Amino acid sequence: MSNTRSNLLSKAWYDKETRSVIVQVLAMAVILGFFGYIINNAVINMAALGKDISFSFLWQPASYDINQHLIEYDSRSSHFSATIVGLINTILIAVAGIILATILGFILGVMRLSNNWLTQKIAYVYIEYVRNVPVLIHILLVHGIMVNTLPRPKQSYNFGDTFFLNNRGLQSPFPDIQPLFWIVIGVFVAAIVFAIWFARHAKKVQDETGKHYPVVWINLFAIIVVPFIVYFLLGSPINWEIPYLKGFNFKGGMVVRPEFIALWLALSFYTAAFIGEIVRSGIVAVSHGQTEAAHALGISSGRTLSLVVIPQALRVIVPPLTSQYLNLTKNSSLAIAIGYMDVVATIGGISLNQTGREMECMLIVMAIYLTLSLIISSVMNWYNNSIKLVER
């Protein structure tokens, strides 16, 4: 009987698929046991200190102000509201940073491959300098330059008596949206839907007949010009509150804080250096024969880059580009160094110190960054699948 069991176990172990399942089950058991031990140890230690895990503190008054909030908030608001404000500020800096870093990164990547010696060396020096200096140094440097070199409010840089730049930020008009403006929003959304449809239609026509439509110009007209025309036809349904100087500071309008501008620029400039090298390597990975074939067909250099090289390079660029987007989002947690109130500074900083709920606050911060990272990864994976080669 024992020999039969031994033979069965031996046969199961030497079977490739069965062995794979056994190893995965054992590995999962070890991982779950490890995390179970850590959680149990934490609960025991907290019980010894007379603490329990509770998130009821989220509904208590926060009792502190946040200098930048896009939703209604004051010191009487709850810690949950402070968390939402911090989350919005984190998302705002991440989205703005990703957009600017991507634009600058693609420009730097193309500059690195330029035939012009000066252009190539400028991009090379920038990339080597920026990516070899810690991002925190960049953040502190940009913030220090802005705070110490920009003038005081009374000596602000004046742009048409509408925008004012000083060491307290960028004062700009505040929009008071009227009901008719939602029609303009609807037209803008419809224009985006049209642009997506038209791009696909134009590509289908080009694949079938070779006929080329000016997709970029038509879509720009639909997305930008048409909503502006509707906006003016409706009588400009937005009232603008213009900032004005009163005493030692500006009143009215809205202000973009120097902390936001400094963090946005520093993270964008830093990440763009890495994206530039990713773009360069992606373009170099495309066989030069592709470019020569396009030129032989009479296609201009610009069209060759946009229609032949970049679409193929994207398949190499997108995976490491995803990592840079994730890095930028996580690096935004350094905002606390210059006083930008993101999710780390609110629930992971002041709320933690006030309530003493370090375990709960850190779990919330970790869950937020994990969720943001998974969302970015999912979007980029979807885009990567949409541009991959389709085998026949």
Query: Cα separation of 25 and 19, whole Å?
Result: 10
Which residue would you say has higher pLDDT here, 40 or 145?
145
Residue at token pair 């031990």: 37
* C-alpha torsion angle, residues 165, 167, 169, 172 (rounded to 10): -30
Query: Cα separation of 341 and 335, whole Å?
Result: 7
Residue 238 φ/ψ, nearest 5 degrees: -140, 130
Percentage of residues in the chain having pLDDT higher than 90: 28
Q: What is the mean pLDDT of the chain?
A: 85
Q: Tell me the per-residue pLDDT of 174-195, one tens digit each, with 9 for 90 and over.
A: 888 888 888 889 989 999 999 8
Residue 392 has pLDDT above 60, yes or no: no
Residue 167, burial from CB neighbour count under 10 angstroms (0-12, 13-18, 19+): middle
Q: Tell me the per-residue pLDDT of 365-374, one tens digit each, with 9 for 90 and over.
A: 999 999 999 9
Query: Cα separation of 226 and 152, whole Å?
Result: 40
Across residues 128-157, what is the average pLDDT?
A: 89
Q: How far is CA 144 from CA 135, 139, 170, in A?
A: 14, 8, 16
Strand locations in 81-180 (E)? 157-159, 163-166, 169-172, 174-177
**Residue 345 amino acid letter:** A
Which of 310, 271, 346, 304 is CA-nearest to residue 83?
A: 346
Residue 17 has pLDDT above 80, yes or no: no
Helix axes 135-149, 258-285, angle to 10 degrees: 140
* C-alpha torsion angle, residues 247, 253, 257, 260 (rounded to 10): -170
The pLDDT value recorded for residue 63 is: 86
The pLDDT value recorded for residue 373 is: 93
pLDDT band at residue 3 under the 50/70/90 scheme: low
The pLDDT value recorded for residue 99 is: 94
Across residues 67-93, what is the average pLDDT?
A: 89
Maximum separation of any 2 CA atoms in the chain, in Å:
96
Across residues 142-162, what is the average pLDDT?
A: 86
Percentage of residues in the chain having pLDDT higher than 70: 95
Across residues 79-89, what is the average pLDDT?
A: 92
Which residue would you say has higher pLDDT here, 248 or 5?
248
Among 7-16, 56-65, 85-94, name the one with the lowest average pLDDT.
Answer: 7-16
Please give the angle made by the CA atoms of 200, 374 and 60, to the nearest 5 degrees.
125
pLDDT band at residue 316 under the 50/70/90 scheme: confident
Residue 241 φ/ψ, nearest 5 degrees: -90, 110
SS3 330: helix
Q: Tell me the per-residue pLDDT of 89-126, one tens digit each, with 9 for 90 and over.
A: 999 999 999 999 999 999 999 888 888 889 899 999 99
Query: Cα separation of 283 and 260, whole Å?
Result: 33
The pLDDT value recorded for residue 70 is: 81
Q: Tell me the per-residue pLDDT of 323-366, one tens digit each, with 9 for 90 and over.
A: 999 999 999 999 888 888 999 999 988 888 888 888 888 889 99
Contacts 24+ apart (CB under 8 A), 228-233: 230/183, 230/184, 230/187, 231/181, 231/184
